[in-house]
């Protein structure tokens, strides 16, 4: 197959630029190919174009329904994911532990050298002490 630079006067026929995958049809002998000298056109025989046309057409006819169904399924899946994702984010926000600044749980284990903090008195003892303080304050008031 012959290769021609862009702008060259050529015989009529079909030409393809392989780099940019562009087709050109030259209708009369002596017409110039499109583009400058940096473009390289290859002459395609008419029999090859005639044979390729039905093959490419049937390929298009066979793949178009699959592409259409795939795009429709993709669009539906995106809508469903948006709806379910919003609900999942709300549930995650509700169930996530609250943020406590300054508190870190990186290892999950206390240091071996640190002593355990002193045990707090049971809540009942604190309540009893508070009740006694309130009674004493009420007795002091006239």
| Averaged pLDDT for residues 43-65 | 92
Q: Give the three-class secondary structure for 24.
A: strand
**pLDDT tens-digit series, residues 3-49:** 898 888 999 999 999 888 898 999 999 999 998 889 999 999 989 88
Q: Which residue from 61, 64, 24, 56 is spatially nearest to 40, judged by alpha carbons?
A: 24
Q: Give the three-class secondary structure for 43.
A: strand
Nearby residues of 45 by Cβ (< 8 Å), 6 or more positions away: 1, 13
* Predicted structure pTM score: 0.44
**pLDDT tens-digit series, residues 115-138:** 666 677 667 888 888 899 999 999
Q: What angle do CA 71, 73, 79 make, to 5 degrees?
A: 105
Tell which wins on pLDDT, 55 or 111. Answer: 55
Where do the domains of the chain lie?
A: 3-44
Cα dihedral 64/68/74/78 (nearest 10): 150
């Amino acid at each position: 197959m012959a290769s021609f630079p862009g702008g060259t006067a050529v015989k009529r026929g079909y030409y393809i630029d392989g780099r940019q995958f562009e087709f050109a049809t030259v209708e009369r002998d002596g017409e110039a190919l499109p583009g400058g000298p940096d473009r390289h056109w290859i002459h395609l025989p008419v029999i090859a174009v005639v044979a390729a046309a039905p093959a490419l057409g049937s390929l298009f006819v066979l793949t178009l329904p699959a592409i259409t169904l795939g795009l429709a399924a993709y669009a539906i899946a995106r809508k469903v994911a948006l709806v379910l994702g919003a609900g999942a984010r709300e549930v995650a926000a509700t169930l996530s532990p609250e943020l406590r600044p300054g508190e870190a749980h990186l290892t999950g284990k206390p240091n071996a050298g640190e002593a355990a903090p002193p045990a707090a008195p049971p809540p009942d003892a604190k309540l009893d002490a508070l009740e006694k303080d309130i009674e004493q304050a009420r007795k002091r008031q006239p």
